[in-house]
Amino acid sequence: MVLRKNLKKKFALISVFEKKNLKYLCSNLNKFNYSFISSGSTGNKIRELGFRCKDISKITNFKEMFGGRVKTLNPLIYSSLLYIRDDKIHEKQFKLLNMPEIDIVVVNLYPFKKYLKKYNDNQIIEMIDIGGPSLLRAAGKNFKYITPIIDIMDYKKLVTNLHKNNGVTDIVFRKKMALKVFRQTAQYDKTISNWLNDEYK
């Protein structure tokens, strides 16, 4: 299964802690007519690199809150990620929202494990990523239509697959990326659970 015609406007939601290779990613997505949606420091970095990027808050009409704790957690975003695109009822409901269809979700998570020995408890808690895993899991669930990317090492694989399929990804690639998402988010949750268990047992 190949997604959407190349001539149709496509959207990539990008929210990354690690900004390495972001220019490579954006420049290649831009070649295939992808527009960028982001928030916070990622959006600022994308614009700094010379690419147009629309803030999530402008799309949802909901400002970031609580020092960035609430940025992407919005039902409008998840509507775009979760609706079944070949279901007529879903399509009709989605059109009423006036939201862009998000085709690619690129998120790498706060490095919780890396900071366990560096931060105190209050600081560590702020390294528990909520929005990132939620975006990835939603995109992963809907891999029939959406490409989730959790690993910076998969940027080149994504670009290769886009070249192979005229600017879209194929179902085999999307399913592999979804598998990686659920494996890595499960491990991420396990690391947090182990920390809490060690701290409060």
Residue 33, domain CATH:
3.40.50.1380
Specify the residue for token string 């670009």: 159
Question: Does residue 186 belong to any structural domain of this protein?
Answer: yes
Q: Which residues contact 90 (CB under 8 A, 6 or more apart)?
A: 83, 84
Q: Does some domain include residue 1?
A: no
Q: Assess if residue 154 is contained within a domain.
A: yes
Cα separation, 9 vs 31, whole angstroms = 12
Is residue 4 assigned to a domain? no
DSSP letter (8 states) at residue 2: B
pLDDT tens for the chain, 201 residues long, are 444 444 568 999 999 988 999 999 999 999 999 999 998 889 999 999 999 999 988 888 777 766 666 677 788 899 999 999 988 999 899 899 889 999 999 999 877 777 777 777 777 787 788 889 999 999 999 999 999 999 999 999 999 999 999 999 999 999 999 999 999 999 988 988 888 877 655
Identify how many contiguous H helices and E strands the chain contains and give both numbers.
9, 5
In a domain, 187, yes or no: yes
pTM to 2 decimal places: 0.89
Name every residue whose Cβ is closer than 8 Å to that of residue 189 and which is 6 or more positions away in sequence: 133
Residue 15: strand, helix, or coil: strand
Structural domain that includes position 66: 10-200
DSSP 70: B
How many CA atoms, within 13 angstroms, populate the side-chain half-sphere of residue 122?
A: 0
CA distance 73 to 97: 16
Does 152 fall in a domain?
yes
- Helices 171-200 and 155-164 pack at an angle, to 10 degrees, of 160
Residue 21 DSSP class = T
* 5 falls within a domain: no
Residue 2 lies in a domain: no
Domain count, the chain: 1
**Burial letters 132-162, b for 16+ CB under 10 A, else e:** bbbbbbbbbebbebbbbbbebebbeebbebb
Rounded Cα gap, residues 138 and 10, in angstroms: 18
